[in-house]
Amino acid sequence: MGHGRRGAGGAQVQPGVLLGTDTRGLRATARGRDVARPSIGRDRQCDGRERDVAVRVLVTGATGFTGGWLARHLANAGDTVRALVRHVSQDRVGRLLDAGAEVAIGDLGDARSLEVACHQIEVVYHIAAMYRMAGQGAAAYRDVNVEGTRRLLEAAQTAGVRRIVHCSTGGVHGHVERPPATEDAPLAPGDIYQETKLEGERVARAWGEAGRLEVVVARPIGIYGPGDTRFLKLFRGIARRRLPMLGNGGVFYHLTYVADLVEGFRLCGTVPAAVGRTYLLAGPRYTTLRELVALIASELGVDPPRLALPVWPVWLAGALCELVCVPLRIEPPLYRRRVEFYTKSRAFDASRARRELGFNPNVDLEDGIHRTTVWYREQGML
C-alpha cells in the first residue's frame, strides 16, 4: 500500500497524490494546489426542477464497473468529480479523465491517501469493495469492506465532508422467502462478502447516527449492463447451449440496469430527506429465472435450455470443489453460490426509493438485455 505507482508516462506516483484532468500527461498536483475549481453544474432535484449547484464529489472504486459508470454520470450531471483509484494507467483511468474527473491515487488501507482524496469534497460515494475473490480469507474481506469503510469515514469527517453514500448490497437479505423484500426484510447474508458488506453498512450507519456525517445506505440489486462481466458466463452459457437449468426455474430474480442504478446513487447524494435512510435500488420489475433465461436466449437467437438437472447433487459437487480448492487458493470450477443462483429468490420492492428519492428506473429488462448483448458482441465476448 505504501509503494509508489507508475503513471502513464512512467513517472513514479505516490499514494495520496491528486492528478488533474489533463489527459495528455496525467500531471501530478500536491494536496490542495492546482486542483480544478468547482464548476457550476445543473443538478436535478427529486421534484424535477433544476438548480445551479457546485458540488465536489469523491467516488471510490471508480475504475470498476459500477464506480466508473457513477463517476461519468456525476460528471455529466455537472458535478466536479474526483475518482479514488489504486493504480494509474492510461487504459484504466483514461475514460475518467476524458469525462473531466480528477484522479486521486489511494487505497482504503492507506489513511493518509484517503485524507488527501477527501480534501475539499462535499459528498463521498463509497463504491469500492472486495468482491468475491478466490483464495482470500475473511480477514482480507473485513479489512477492505469494514475497516476500509471506517478509515474512509474518519478521513471524510476530518476533511469536513458533508455526506457519504455507502454502497452495500441487496445480498445482505439472502434468500427472500416472502418476495418482494423491502428494506426492513430479515437480514441473512450468505457468504463472507455479504457478511462484511453488512458490517460495513452498520459502521457507516452508526457514524451517521452519532451525527458525525450525513449517511445514506444504498443496497443495489443485480447490476448489469455494458461494461459488466459478472453476467457474461450466463450469456455465454446460453449462447453456446451449455447452460443446464437446475430445478424448475421458478425462483425470482431481479436485475437493475447500471444507468438507472447510478442515477439512484446520485439521488441518494442530493435529496435532503435521504439522510439516515436505507434504500433498495432495483430495476422496474423482477421475473422468474426461467423467464430471464428465455429473454436472454431470444436476444441471442437461440433456444432456451431444455435440460433440467436436480439441484442437490450439483450443490454437493460445488461444496466438494470449494473444500478442495479454496485452501489451495485455486479458483473452484463450481461454487455452491452458483448453484444457489437457481434456488434462491431475489425479488425486491424499491417503492421507498421511488417515493422518497424520486427514483424512476426506466430501462426495462428487454431493452437492458439487448443493450448488454450488443456490448458483449462489440467486445468480441460472445
pLDDT of 133: 64
Tell me which of 15 and 214 has the higher pLDDT: 214
**Three-state SS at 115:** helix
Percent of the chain with pLDDT over 70: 83
CA-nearest of 142, 150, 265, 147 to 212 is 150
Residues 6+ apart with CB under 8 A from 192: 138, 141
DSSP string, 130-199: ----TT--HHHHHIIIIIHHHHHHHHHHHHT--EEEEE--GGGG-S-SSSSB-TTSPP---SHHHHHHHH
Band the pLDDT of 291: cuts 50, 70, 90: very high
Query: Which residues, listed in sequence order, are joined to residue 123 by a DSSP beta bridge?
Result: 57, 163
pLDDT of 159: 97
pLDDT at 86 over 70: yes
| 17-58 tens-digit pLDDT | 565 444 334 433 333 333 332 332 344 444 443 444 669 999
pLDDT at 347 over 70: yes
- Residue 241's alpha-carbon distances to 138, 225, 244, 293, in angstroms, are 36, 22, 8, 11
Report how far residue 33's alpha carbon sits from residue 27's, in angstroms, rounded to the nearest whole number: 12
Classify 56-379 by CATH class: alpha beta
Q: What stretch of H or E contains 371?
A: helix 365-378
Tell me which of 45 and 92 has the higher pLDDT: 92
Band the pLDDT of 338: cuts 50, 70, 90: confident
User: What is the distance in angstroms between the CA of the first residue and the CA of the last residue of the chain?
Assistant: 37
pLDDT of 47: 42
pLDDT at 376 over 90: yes
pLDDT of 43: 43
Preceding amide of 180 cis, omega within 30: yes
pLDDT at 317 over 60: yes
pLDDT of 310: 81
Q: What are the cell numbers at 376?
A: 458483449
Most confident of the ranges 95-109, 134-148, 345-359:
345-359
pLDDT of 229: 94
pLDDT of 9: 38
Tell me which of 57 and 320 has the higher pLDDT: 57
Please state the pTM of the whole predicted model. 0.85
pLDDT of 32: 34
Angle between helix 65-76 and helix 258-270 axes, rounded to 10 deg: 60
Band the pLDDT of 135: cuts 50, 70, 90: low
All structural domains of the chain with their residue ranges = 56-379
| Burial bucket for residue 275 (CB in 10 Å: 0-12, 13-18, 19+) | middle
pLDDT of 340: 74
pLDDT of 51: 43
Per-residue pLDDT, averaged over 147-162, amounts to 98
Query: Which residues, listed in sequence order, are joined to residue 220 by a DSSP beta bridge?
Result: 281
Residue type, 28: A
Per-residue pLDDT, averaged over 226-248, amounts to 90
pLDDT at 79 over 70: yes
pLDDT at 336 over 80: no
| Burial bucket for residue 3 (CB in 10 Å: 0-12, 13-18, 19+) | exposed
Q: What are the cell numbers at 207?
A: 457514524
pLDDT of 36: 31
Per-residue pLDDT, averaged over 176-194, amounts to 94
pLDDT of 90: 52
**Three-state SS at 264:** helix
Per-residue pLDDT, averaged over 124-150, amounts to 89
DSSP string, 29-62: E-TTSSPPPPPPEEEE-TTS-EEEE--EEEEETT
pLDDT of 164: 99
